[in-house]
Amino acid sequence: MSASFLKCSALIGSALLASPALMAGEAVDFEFSGKVGYEARAFFNDALHAGQPGNSNSSVFVEPEFYWQWNNGDDSLTFVPYLRADEHDSRRSHADIRELAWIHVGDDWELRTGIRKVFWGVTEFQHLVDVINQTDSVEDTDGEDKLGQQMVNLSLVRDWGILDFYLMPGFRERTFAGTEGRLRGSLVVDTDNVSYESSAEENHLDTAIRWSHTVGDFDMGLYWFHGTNRDPVLTESGSNLLIHYEQMDQFGLDVQATIEDWLWKFETIYRDSTSDSYVALQGGFEYTFIGVMETAMDVGILLEYGWDSRGETNTVSAQDDLYLGARLTLNDAQSTEFLAGIGQDLDHSSYSLFVEASRRFGANWKVSLDARIFDTDESIDALYAVRKDDMMQLTVERYF
């Protein structure tokens, strides 16, 4: 974690813990929960790039959650630290504050201050509109793991929708695998030499405003984000890749319609930055067969399409891609679930396939089994760098 983030975290923590209600000794409800876990990865192929280890990797992680509530529930404080220790990759051994936030609830407004995670998006295979938090890419390849983001968020609840204002005083740099890490390209990203378009660098004040509303069967959101681009520009320099973060304006729209057993999903963005301006979209549906074969099982069929106006470059993961998936939910006491999907590039012969399965054991244990397959022979494709990193991952988690 950067020095500025640690300093900001310390200031936020001191301010929250010194709040008038807590100092006054009001009755405070406290809850402690969280999880610890072990993860084992097995790779089907030998490592492609120099410096990478063999065909297996292990790591352990812990994510406790501390929660305080007072003032009849109108005020709450959440603290969620995170720590992972990896067998081989020193960069994957890292710590983060996922959340450290005070929330105050008014009659028709909420104020959320501190470090938080905010998710936007409705589609299954790609989350175009999700822009607030930085990706913690050493965790997994799906981009769904995020670093905590410093922010002040005012949410106004009105009859015509919810209006959210965001001030984000500070930027989080993306994490990247090191020399010893799998799931990386042939060149290692140099995280020690980072440049910014803004003279304020990582201290630039980012802003965002989002409107969301539900009308009948439709849930929709519309936003504008102005600030540091979470996606870095990577340029080759010798045996490394250098990182540069530009400023950007991004407009996003997400819509989800629930119509009987159909779930229709759509996301689109327009991004304008110094190096590029483009439009991207992702849309499709999920249809659920409820109570299959007169059992409690539900089976969902997913179909989505992704398009990007930048076309065929190795930085675009879905410029003209079709996604097909299936979800099986047993609806049993153990919360057994399966999800499988394949993404096919319609311009190339490449594809990616994933399988995710999870099941609870007893009241406190959960076991997950995931698989990732990548296939391409074309160097221009975004999957080319990880074409030998097909893997299976076993995760055992203990909740407390």
Is residue 156 situated within a structural domain? no
Residue 23 falls inside a structural domain: no
Q: Is residue 358 part of a domain?
A: yes
> What range does the domain containing 200 cover?
31-69+80-95+164-399
In 143-239, which ranges are E strands? 149-158, 161-169, 188-196, 205-215, 218-228, 233-237
Summarize pLDDT for 54-91 with one digit per residue, the tens: 899 999 999 999 999 999 999 999 999 999 999 999 99
Q: Which two tokens stand for residue 279?
A: 């439009």
Spell out the per-residue pLDDT of the chain, length 400, in tens. 665 666 656 556 555 555 555 545 578 999 999 999 999 999 999 999 989 988 999 999 999 999 999 999 999 999 999 999 999 999 999 999 999 999 999 999 999 999 999 999 999 999 999 999 999 999 998 889 999 999 999 999 999 999 999 999 999 999 999 999 999 988 999 999 999 999 999 999 999 999 999 999 999 999 999 999 999 999 999 989 999 999 999 999 999 999 999 999 999 999 999 999 999 999 999 999 999 999 999 999 999 999 999 987 767 778 899 999 999 999 999 999 999 999 999 988 899 999 999 999 999 999 999 999 999 888 888 788 899 999 999 999 999 9
CATH number, domain at 87?
2.40.160
What's the confidence (pLDDT) of residue 107? Answer: 95
**Sign for the pseudo-dihedral over CA of 278, 381, 41, 84:** negative
> What pLDDT is stored for residue 23 in this prediction?
47
The span from the CA of 37 to the CA of 108, in Å, is: 39
pLDDT of residue 287: 98
Judge whether 143 and 129 are in contact, CB under 8 Å: no
Q: What is residue 292's DSSP assignment?
A: G
Quote the CA–CA distance of 367 and 87 in Å, as a whole number: 20
Residue 299 counted as domain residue: yes
Residue 318 domain-assigned?
Answer: yes
Encode 115-144: b = buried (16+ Cβ within 10 Å), e = exposed.
bbbbebbbbbbbbbbbbbbbbbbbbebeee
Instruction: Determine whether 367 is exposed, middle or buried from the number of CB atoms within 10 Å of its CB (0-12, 13-18, 19+).
Output: middle
Look at residue 177 in the predicted model and tell me its pLDDT: 95
> Against a cut of 0.85, is the pTM above it?
yes
Residue 291 lies in a domain: yes
pLDDT in tens, 96-143: 999 999 999 999 999 999 999 999 999 999 999 999 999 999 999 888
- Domain membership of residue 220 (yes or no) is yes
Residue 17 lies in a domain: no
- The span from the CA of 190 to the CA of 235, in Å, is 10
- Count the domains in the chain: 1
